[in-house]
Structure 1
Amino acid sequence: MKLLEFLKGKKGAMGIGTLIIFIAMVLVAAVAAAVLINTSGFLQQKAMATGKESTEQVASGLSTLKVLGILNGDATAVDGLAILITPNAGSAPIDLNQTKIFITDGDKKAVLYYNSTAYNNLTGGGEVTNTTLEAWENISVTDKAQFGIIVIQDSDGSCKQNTPVINKGDIVALTINATKIGLNLDPRTTVTGSVVPEFGAPAVIEFTTPATYLSTQTVIQLQ
């Protein structure tokens, strides 16, 4: 009789141990599942953010429409450059405040930043190469290497003086005083550079000045 009671008690103790192990396994599985869910959620958010940034980097950017040169008084060299740019198709809005121009004539290299006082809006019409505009004059009165902005096309008014943001369909001219920043744009000079936005592809600057400048010319197309 006592032996039977002992065996029954032993089976009960084994059942309780098994139950404890089962509960422990369930708790471990629950903790592991919670960790996996949290990790997968974090990785999903990181993947979405990375994908968005990668798409912006690939699809966004600037393209060069043309580069105009303004000759000096005796038509022996180019004094000013007007670089006409527009956002690439599908590009996110680009802040020109965060954009830099890298340019070199093979000897002198310059990095230019936007001067907010050198700004004009010609969406209503006007002459981009008119050197009396603030976009030309105000980059000449400073010792810093800076560029100005002339707005040519901006249907939504996004490219303002202090917040010059360009988006789909906008066209602006970036003005450079070549003489002021030390570029020597005599005939047969090769010039290279780029307009580098905060993100996305840069607009390429690459041209060679003509073999000679005509005294009848005041503005020439370089690229």
Structure 2
Amino acid sequence: MEMNKENKIFRNSQAQIGIGTLIIFIAMVLIAAVAASVLIQTSGVLQQQAQSTGRQATQEVSSNLVIKSIEGVRAKNNATSMADNVSLLKLKVGLNVGSSPVDLNQLVISVTDGTNTNDLIYANNDKTHDNSMENFSSAATATTNLGKLLTDTQVTPGDNAKYFFTVQKIRDEDISFSQGNPVMNTGDLVTIYVSAVSDSDLSYTTIGGISTSGSQKDSNLDIGPRTTVNLVLTPEAGAATIAEFVTPSSYGTKETISLYP
């Protein structure tokens, strides 16, 4: 007797459920990968910004000029004929311990006698007044450029004495400081010259060893006895350096007067 054979079809949906789970898993992996990529990119940008901010903050804190002393020089004809006012300020300036290099070409010096204020830039700087100091020479000596500071004028911005200062190096171990590239490094020491010629000093023939032949220009400052003088040195980066002093009650017969500290 022949047995009936029954064909049975088995339906198994477990494989379909497995494929769906796999698809969801792959999607989650892709999403996680994209998210990780975004996080890595964002963390990289933040790291760069943090490093840049850190460098700038360090530079702001560490770039400091230090005024060692300030002397005033009177214009004269001879040892017995001198101006009643200080005609030239000599600032001896160095760098603070651990300071970053400071470019004096970007330094701004504000000096006031209590009545008038001059904002001075380095004589070779052509970015502030659109013109550097007329007849300034990077190849010339500091003495020559000081003479031009005291005696020369130009159409723009006007008398050099009112708008510029010059610098002479005292100590420069690595021989990197020059008139054309006045960058101070650790250990450097310089003298910054600021004209203080007043209209009553114009007839004298010599200022600080510089022969002016009476052609010096009025600086718009008047630093006589008992005058309160304020100087602010603002570098390109770092804290400003401030010096304030009151001139002596009498200059006597001295050509050079110690004013600060």
TM-score by length of 1: 0.88
The answer to whether the 8 Å contact 1:63/1:204 transfers is: no
Distance 2:24 2:97 in 1: 62
1:46-102 Cα shifts (integer Å, max 9, x gaps): 111211111111111101000110113333110000111001111111111111101
User: How far 1:24 sits from its partner (Å)?
Assistant: 0.2
> How do 1:48-127 and structure 2 match up within 5 A?
48-73=51-76, 74-116=82-124, 117=136, 120=141
Distance 1:21 1:162 in 2: 69
Q: Which runs of 5+ in 2 are unaligned?
A: 1-7, 77-81, 125-135, 154-158, 198-217
Q: Which has the larger radius of gyration?
A: 2
Q: Which runs of 5+ in 1 are unaligned?
A: 122-132
User: Relative to total residues, which structure has the larger strand share, 1 or 2?
Assistant: 1
Moved over 3 A (4+): 118-121
Count of residue correspondences? 207
TM-score by length of 2: 0.75
- 1:183 aligns to 2:221 (yes or no): yes
Which secondary structure does the structure 1 equivalent of 2:146 belong to? helix
The one-letter code of the counterpart of 1:172 is: V
Which secondary structure does the structure 2 equivalent of 1:27 belong to? helix
Distance 2:190 2:242 in 1: 15
Which secondary structure does the structure 1 equivalent of 2:60 belong to? helix
The one-letter code of the counterpart of 1:187 is: P
The one-letter code of the counterpart of 2:191 is: A
Which secondary structure does the structure 2 equivalent of 1:157 belong to? coil
1:121-161 Cα shifts (integer Å, max 9, x gaps): 6xxxxxxxxxxx22421112131410011111111111111
> How do 1:1-40 and structure 2 match up within 5 A?
1-2=8-9, 4-5=10-11, 8=12, 10-40=13-43
In structure 2, which of residues 173, 192, 201 is the aligned counterpart of residue 174 of structure 1?
A: 192
User: How far 1:212 sits from its partner (Å)?
Assistant: 1.1
- The aligned counterpart of 2:232 is 194
In angstroms, what is the RMSD of aligned CA positions?
1.5
Distance 2:100 2:115 in 1: 35
- The aligned counterpart of 1:204 is 242
Label 1:162 to 1:200 Cα distance change in 2 as closer, same or farther (>3 A): same
Identity of aligned residues (%): 41
Q: Bigger CA drift: 200-209 or 146-155?
A: 200-209
The one-letter code of the counterpart of 2:149 is: I
